[in-house]
Amino acid sequence: MSTGTALFFPIVNSFWVNTPELGDPPWSDAQEAYARSVLAFDVDTAQKLVLEIDGKSYPVSPAFRVPSTVGNCVLPADNLFVYFDFPVNAGPHECVVDGYWALLPPLSVGKHTIRFAGGFASSGFALDVTYQITVKPRQKLGKSVMSPHH
pLDDT at 5: 87
Q: Has residue 144 got a pLDDT over 60?
A: no
- CA 41, CA 17: separation in Å to the nearest integer? 16
- What is residue 62's three-state secondary structure? helix
- The predicted structure's pLDDT at residue 3: 75
Alpha-helical segments (H) within the chain: 29-43, 80-83
Reported as a single tens digit per residue, the pLDDT across 70-123 is 999 999 999 888 888 888 889 999 999 999 999 999 999 999 999 999 999 999
> Which residue would you say has higher pLDDT here, 45 or 148?
45
In this structure, the strands spanning 71-75 and 110-120 are unpaired
Mean pLDDT computed over 13-36: 95
Q: What is the pLDDT of residue 82?
A: 84
